[in-house]
Homo-oligomer: A and B are copies of this chain.
């Protein structure tokens, strides 16, 4: 599976060429690697960084492994091996591995599940190990991960400790470990953790002084998990067992990792009841609690989901990591169902809510992604200037987003195609130039995709079977598509999408081409009337790209631009702008400039309006020029 796409290549390459290098430097500079050296007894010093800093190294290895899957890069491989050596050295005899506990709280293992993140770190270790093993065939890190997983399996479980991690992550990692090792106990342990939530962490708050972590840490997590003096647990999805949860709640990254893991369990167990539950949660999220960009988590208070239809624009949190987590979950939901709605959301999230988290050169990041920044900058800048800025930052204290972004981009290939499990059919879910090697009914099939997305809707799939083979290609028809045409082996083909897919079933011969063209017109989207923040507004979209206005292209406050319902909106490609983007232009109505100097209220009829041009750029590309205002949702008239 190789990605080779005009749009995505730049990101894939930048992850390889710059981001991995840059993030590696951060591993050294932040003290993350030193923590391993100190824990191993090979260096002296204090623990540095956040208590879950180990995961920076693990996520870096995971992203690097995805790169190594398709690229021959001995220098990177060596560097990965060096980091693995540091990790190996820090592991104790019995398999335990966590530098924060080792350095700061030896003897206090597993005493702070609520926020100590030992299991969370273990999860990222396992994910890195599985990725490294799959990329290189080597067992070095996998052995480390298995030893730790075995220790965890000894400590936790139906007959052992009844704990769950305060931050989910190990659950989906354990399923991966199960898949690569075939050891049932890892799947059972994952299931134990998934099913074990429901006021499970409350007991830790009875004697926090005896537990790992200082008072400040405990106060913070108490504040998150308690509502007044009552244990509440929603922050960590610990308010109820998963089968009783009806709405997506709490810290959005935690929630995504959790539901992704639950979907993994269903994939292995076929538990329909759990799938139905996940589907209900997915509906709550997507029908009530998701930004038009695919971003989730409305508030920075606890990085949480809030209430139905509460989707403020200026204070939207929409954390980059939560977008990554949403892709993880949706990918698995598709695998469970074949439903088109999941890859739809993956596409929306990838091109918008996720990609906005990265600068064009993939070296600077947004932790939180507002949908609107006013003339005075980010509405929350006073609270945390780094996190709430109108400019991306090089790194964060809590550096979860950059490596998460790196591993998603490096693993982009896995979201493009899917094999149907029960019949000879291949789903084409994402339109990303790529080449895949498949085996269908024992025949090797190479499938090559060329895609003009996101700027044009032309997709060509070239099939190259070892011998002529019967199977179906199921090509997703995107929701943004205004019309679709297809030709198969040069012949035009009637297209009747069925459940969101065009199916072309035939005997494919060497070099057969399926060409699909999706109409791509500028569209105005509106939100449900219950969404206060967007009432009377429209968002512009063309193809999968959600647009925004940026201050640098306009000479008035953006709030003044009202897009009339009948305004023509023209798309044009600008290869010179923002590494090449298609922009949308049109005529907006703006208040007569002089008129509003003083009066706070006036008769509607007295408001004179002029016409002014607007230029919309892709939302993901904002904040790559002079900092200033930005708006996704625009007034209408």
- List A residues at the B interface (Cβ < 8 Å): 283, 286-288, 290, 292, 314, 523-532, 535-539, 557, 559-560, 562, 565, 591, 596, 598-605, 607, 635-636
Contact A604 B525 (CB under 8 A): yes
Report the minimum CB–CB distance from A298 to chain B (whole Å). 13
Which residue of B287, B314, B601 contacts A292 across the interface (Cβ within 8 Å)? B601
Which residue of B557, B559, B598, B636 contacts A287 across the interface (Cβ within 8 Å)? B598
Contact B526 A602 (CB under 8 A): yes
Contact B601 A527 (CB under 8 A): yes
Which residue of B526, B557, B607 contacts A601 across the interface (Cβ within 8 Å)? B526
Contact A529 B560 (CB under 8 A): yes
Which residue of B287, B535, B600 contacts A527 across the interface (Cβ within 8 Å)? B600
Assuming the A-B contacts A557-B529, A557-B530, A562-B536, are A600 and B524 also in contact, with contact meaning beta carbons closer than 8 angstroms in the complex?
A: no
Copies in the complex: 2
Contact A529 B591 (CB under 8 A): yes
Assuming the A-B contacts A601-B292, A635-B536, are A596 and B529 also in contact, with contact meaning beta carbons closer than 8 angstroms in the complex?
A: yes
Chain B residues with CB under 8 A of A529:
557, 559-560, 591, 596
Contact B557 A526 (CB under 8 A): no
A562 to B536, CA, bound (A): 9
Which residue of B523, B599, B607 contacts A603 across the interface (Cβ within 8 Å)? B523
A286 to B286, CA, bound (A): 42
Report the minimum CB–CB distance from A325 to chain B (whole Å). 19
Chain B residues with CB under 8 A of A527:
600-601
29 contacts between A and B (CB under 8 A): A286-B600, A288-B600, A290-B600, A292-B601, A523-B604, A524-B603, A524-B605, A526-B601, A526-B603, A526-B607, A527-B600, A527-B601, A528-B596, A528-B600, A529-B560, A529-B591, A529-B596, A530-B559, A530-B596, A531-B600, A535-B559, A535-B635, A536-B536, A536-B562, A536-B636, A538-B604, A539-B601, A565-B604, A604-B636
Report the minimum CB–CB distance from A490 to chain B (whole Å). 34
CB-nearest residue of chain B relative to A598? B287
A535 to B557, CA, bound (A): 13
Report the minimum CB–CB distance from A348 to chain B (whole Å). 9
Chain B residues with CB under 8 A of A536:
535-537, 562, 635-636
Report the minimum CB–CB distance from A248 to chain B (whole Å). 13
Which residue of B314, B539, B604 contacts A526 across the interface (Cβ within 8 Å)? B604
Chain B residues with CB under 8 A of A537:
536
Chain B residues with CB under 8 A of A526:
601-604, 607
A523 to B602, CA, bound (A): 10
Q: Which 3 pairs from chain A and chain B are nearest by CB?
A: A524-B604, A536-B536, A526-B604
CB-nearest residue of chain B relative to A314? B532
Chain B residues with CB under 8 A of A530:
557, 559, 596
